[in-house]
Amino acid sequence: MPQTRRFPQSIYALPLADNRLRLDRVPRQADPLAERLHRRQRLAGAFRLFARLGFEVGVAGHFTARDPIETDHYWINPLGVPFSQLRVSHLLRVDGEGRVVEGDGPLNSGALKLHYHLQKARPEVVGIAHLHGLHGRAWSALGRPFEPLTAESAAFSGSQAIFRRHDLRDEQGNPERRPERLTRAFVDSFADNDLLIWQNHSLWTTGASVESAAWRSILADDSARTHLLAYAAGRPVIPDAALAAASIAPDKELADWLNFLPLWDRISAEEPDLLD
């Protein structure tokens, strides 16, 4: 390793053979307490990155991480703390009843049910992110899924859903207003996809790690931006989805986890107070 390297880069800690990465799945901390801290740190780091990417709109935006010990608990950012100031110690642990069992601060209670029921319905999920990135919101207004226009957006082929909340109706044909029905429809729409496009609202992503959920949030806003640009300028070529998928990493969870590493290295080096 070069002696002049100033910051620890995560990639150098991964197993190599002949200078090729040899990693067949996302590593986890053996110690559950270390894994808990790991998730909380990545959650806080993701908010710092989201702040830089302009994903913060007032008090909107929440990102939860399942607790590795109490697996029906999850960690969430408190309401109203600026993303750019968020630290590990700000995070709240919430139990299945929506009670704060660790940490102190105001909850964004509006979104609790959605996170809780989605975490419950999908035991493989660790991270669930909902941010109000500009491009994701603008694209959501078009009510259309992503096409495999680029390698980045092709990663969502076959793993995205659209949620049309305004179209839900009750038994009398009136707009559905019952919270439990909206929550169920949201969970049903999401199904086992990585991405949910909430029409006329914004994007949600999930991941089997905090890292992959965070990366998919970034990638989804990026995909929205490339779609907006390409469709504004003309008529993009849409490759066959199966063909496009063939050039996507076979293990998306591993690939998306890996893609988050340089971002983590950068943010943890530049804003180490996020670890406090």
Half-sphere exposure of 100 (CA within 13 A, CB side): 15
What is the closest distance, in whole angstroms, from the C-beta atom of residue 248 to a second copy in the complex?
12
Residue 199: how many other CB atoms lie within 10 Å: 18
Contact flag: residue 226 with a second copy (CB under 8 A): yes
**The token pair that represents 55 in the structure block:** 């994903």
Contact flag: residue 30 with a second copy (CB under 8 A): no
Contact flag: residue 158 with a second copy (CB under 8 A): no
Contact flag: residue 252 with a second copy (CB under 8 A): no
Contact flag: residue 172 with a second copy (CB under 8 A): no
Compute how many residues bind a second copy; rule: CB under 8 A. 100
Q: What is the rounded CA–CA span in Å between residue 75 and residue 59? A: 17
Residue of 34, 141, 158, 170 that binds a second copy (CB under 8 A): 141
Q: Contacts with a second copy in 82-101 (CB under 8 A)?
A: 82-85, 87, 89-90, 92, 99-100
Contacts of 99 (CB under 8 A, 6+ apart): none
CA distances in angstroms from 36 to 91, 126, 213, listed in the order given: 12, 11, 16
Contact flag: residue 145 with a second copy (CB under 8 A): no
Residue with tokens 């990545």, as numbered in its chain = 42
Contact flag: residue 240 with a second copy (CB under 8 A): yes
Q: What is the rounded CA–CA span in Å between residue 178 and residue 151? A: 39
Contact flag: residue 189 with a second copy (CB under 8 A): no
Contact flag: residue 149 with a second copy (CB under 8 A): yes
Contact flag: residue 124 with a second copy (CB under 8 A): no
